[in-house]
Structure 1
Amino acid sequence: MKIYTVLAALLLTAVSLAQNISGQAFYESKTTVDMDAFGGGNREMSEEMKKMIMQRMKSYLEKTYILTFNSKESIYKEEVKLETGQGGGPMAMMMGSFTPGAQYKNIETGNMVEENEFFGKEFLVTDSVASLDWKLEKESKQIGQYVAFKATAIKKVDPNDFSMARPRRGVRGDRDKKTKDEQPEKSAKKDSISDDPMDNIEVPKEVTVTAWYTPQVPVGHGPGEYAGLPGLILELNVYRTTLLCSKIVMNPKEADKIEAPTKGKEVTREEYRKIVKEKTDEMRENFRGRGGRGGRGGGRGM
C-alpha cells in the first residue's frame, strides 16, 4: 500500500501543474542484435565479420531522440541524423525502414502522424495513438531526480518489422527457445537452413513492453508511439531496444514547435505496411536471383 500512497500523493501534487506544462525529454536508444540469426546458408559467420557488420549498423542501433511535449501534444525526433552510407547489408536496410522520422501525437484526440522515408520515397503515415492495456505494477525506482513507477503491456508486432528479427526455430537447435513473451510468426520452413538469410529468421507475434513513468511530470506522453500512462515515460524496454531518458528540461525557452509533420504522400498505417511488404518480397526475389542456389543472376526486372 505504501507505493500506491506515494503514487497518489505525487499525482495530487502534479494535477495543478498539468494544465500549462511543457518540456523536452532527451532519450538515448540502444538496440542489440543477435548476429547468429544472419549467417545463412551452410556458412558460419566469423567473429570479425560480425563485428564489422555491427559497426556498420551502429547508426541504426544507437540513437538520441528529443521528445517535445505539452499537456496534450508531443513531437518526437531524432536529435542527430548519423551517416548511414556504410550500409550493413539487407538487414540494416530493412531495420532502417522501421526507424520513422518525426512522430506527432495528440493524446486528447488520439491522432498520430509520422514521417517515413522508405527506399527514397517519403510517406506521411496517419494512425491512432497506440492503445496498450497497461498494467501498473508496484515496483518503483529512482531515475535521475524523479521517482519512476513500473508498467507493463503486451504489444502485437508487425510481421514485417525486421528490427525485431531473431533466428528461426530449428536453425540453431537447442540455443533457440521459444519464450512466453515472444511467440513467433509461423514459418513455412522449420528445420532447414536456407541460402536466403531472410528464411532463417522470424519475427515475434507479440512482445512485452516495460515502461517506467513518473507522475512528477504529469503528462501521458512517451517516446515514439508509446503513451497513455499517468506520467511521462522515462525508460522503455521493448524486446532488444532500451530507451532511457537522460535529461528533462521543463518549460524551455527555445524548443521545437509541436506541429504534425506534412511532408510525404499520406497513407494509413495498413497501406504503409503493404508497401513495405511488397518491397521486402521484391528484395528477396532479387537476392535469390543474384546469389541463391541455381540463380542465374540479375533477378526480376534486371
Structure 2
Amino acid sequence: MNTLTRIAVLALVLFVTQARAQEFTGVATYKSKRKVDIKLDSTQVNSEMHQKMMDMLKKQFEKTYILTFNKEESVYKEEESLSAPQPGGMEVVMVSTGGADILYKNIKEQRFTNQNDVFGKIFLIKDQLESVEWELGKETKNIGEYTCYKATFTRQEPKVVGGISVNGDKDLDEEKEPEMETVTITAWYTPQIPVNNGPGNYYGLPGLILEVNDGSETVICSKIVLNPKNEVEITEPKKGKKVTKEEFDKIMEKKMEEMKERYSPRRGKGDGQEIEIRIGG
C-alpha cells in the first residue's frame, strides 16, 4: 500500500469515527455509595443505636442517577426514591451542600446549569465548567462489557466539614478556618463510547466516564443504553433564581449558619436525642 493510499484510508477511518461519534446518544444509570465513619460518645448513644444510625446513613447515600447524553450535552439528575427510615427516638437532620436536582452540561460551550432546590427555594446556578488536568494512566479494567482506562487528578478540599451534637452537648463545629487536604480523584473511562462526559461535574476524558471515586464516595455505571429507540431529550433547566457558583456558595454558607442556629443544642427541651450531620460536596 503506497503512501497516498494509506493517507486516504486513514482519512476515511477518521471520518467514519467522527460521524459515528456525532450520532452517539445514550442513557447511563449510575449508583453512588459513600463511606460513613462517625464516632459517637458511647455514654449517650449505645452500640445498637449507633449501628442503626450508621445503616440508615449508608442507605441515605446509596442513590441512583440518570445521565442522558449526546456528543455535546448532557443532563444528570437523581432518580426519585423513598427516604430511609430514621432510628426510633432519634432525629437526624441531613444537610447536604453538594447535591444537584438537575445538572446540565454543555461540553462544546464549556458551561453548566445546575437547578437546585434549597429548602424550598429553587436556584439556577449558571457558570463555566471547571477545567481539569487529568493524568491519563495505562491501567485498565472492565466495567460490564466495556474496557476502561484509569485517569486521575488532585484538588484541595476541607479536611473536616460539619459536626455532630448529641443531647445538648456543645456543638463540635467551631468557628475556624477549615484545614485543607489534597484529595485524589480517580476515574475510569471507556473510549468505546466516544463522548467527553461523565457523572456529576466530571468530564474531559476521551470517552464516557463509567466510574469515579473521590476517596469517600464512589459513583459507578450500572447500565448503559446507546442510541435508544425513543429519542433522547436533553433540555437545559430554566426555572429558578439565576446565580453564579460563587454567589450560590455564599447563599449556602448563610443557609448553613441558619440551620446551625435552628438545630443548635436546646438544653432542657425534651429528653430525645438530636443529631446534626453536615456533608460537604
Interval containing the TM-score (normalised by the shorter chain): 0.7 to 0.9
Deviations 1:76-132 (A, max 9, x none): 111223326749623x2x22x422111000000011011111122111111222311
8 Å CA contact 1:129, 1:227 repeated in 2? no
Please give the root-mean-square deviation of Cα atoms over the aligned residues, in Å. 3.1
Q: 2:27 aligns with which of 24, 28, 31?
A: 24
Q: Does the C-alpha gap of structure 1 residues 103 and 21 become closer, same or farther in structure 2, counting only changes over 3 Å?
A: same
Match of 2:207 in 1: 231
Alignment of 1:18-57 (within 5 A): 18-36=21-39, 39=40, 45-57=45-57
Shift of 1:16: 4.2
**Is the CA contact 1:139–1:149 (under 8 Å) kept in the aligned structure 2?**
yes
Alignment of 1:1-302 (within 5 A): 14-36=17-39, 39=40, 45-58=45-58, 60-83=60-83, 86=86, 89-90=92-93, 92=94, 94-95=95-96, 97-157=97-157, 159=158, 162=161, 195-199=170-174, 204-254=180-230, 257-288=233-264, 290-291=266-267
Name the CA distance, whole Å, in 1 between partners of 2:84 and 2:232: 25
Distance 1:121 1:57, change over 3 A: farther
Deviation of 1:231 (Å): 0.3
* AA at the equivalent of 1:122: I
- Give SS of 1:244's match: strand
Q: How many residues align?
A: 247
- The one-letter amino acid paired with 1:108 is K
CA contact (8 A) 1:98 1:161 kept: no
Contact 2:104 2:114 in 1 (8 A): yes
User: Deviation at 1:54?
Assistant: 2.9
The answer to whether the 8 A contact 1:15-1:218 is kept is no
Q: Which secondary structure does the structure 1 equivalent of 2:266 belong to?
A: helix
The 1:254–1:48 alpha-carbon spacing in structure 2 relative to 1, beyond 3 Å, is farther
- Could you tell me whether the CA contact under 8 Å between 1:68 and 1:255 is conserved in 2? no
Which structure has greater helix proportion? 1
For 1:133, what is the secondary structure of its paired residue?
A: coil
SS of the residue corresponding to residue 260 of structure 1 reads coil
Deviates more, 1:200-209 or 1:100-109: 200-209
Counterparts of 1:200 and 1:114, CA distance in 2? 29
- SS of structure 1 residue aligned to 2:173: helix
Q: Which runs of 5+ in 2 are unaligned?
A: 1-12, 269-281
Supply the distance in 2 between the matched residues of 1:261 and 1:198 (Cα, whole angstroms).
Answer: 35
Tell me: CA distance 1:128–1:81, structure 2 relative to 1, closer, same or farther (3 Å). farther
Give the unaligned 5+ runs of structure 1: 1-10, 168-193, 293-302
8 Å CA contact retained: 2:197, 2:205 = yes
SS at match of 1:228: coil
Q: Which amino acid aligns with 1:30?
A: K
- Per-residue CA deviations over 1:206-260 (Å, capped at 9, x if unaligned) read 4211000000000000000000000000110012110111111100122652111
1:120/1:287 CA distance change after superposition, 3 Å: same
The alignment partner of 1:18 has SS state of: helix
Q: State the distance in 2 between where 1:71 and 1:161 align.
A: 37
Amino acid at match of 1:198: D
Deviates more, 1:121-130 or 1:231-240: 121-130
Counterpart residue type for residue 138 of structure 1 = K
Kindly indicate whether the alpha-carbon contact (under 8 Å) linking 2:171 and 2:265 is maintained by their aligned counterparts in 1: no
Is the CA contact (8 Å cut-off) linking 1:112 and 1:127 kept in structure 2?
yes
* Cα distance in structure 1, aligned partners of 2:141 and 2:195: 19
The Cα of 1:160 is off from its aligned counterpart by 11
Structure 2 distance, partners of 1:220, 1:161, is 32
Deviation string, structure 1 residues 23-66 (Cα, Å, up to 9, x no partner): 11111111121112xx37x9564332222323443453001111
User: Which deviates the most, 51-60 or 81-90?
Assistant: 81-90
Distance 1:276 1:59, change over 3 A: farther
**Matching residue's letter, 2:254:** E
> CA shift at 1:198, angstroms?
2.7
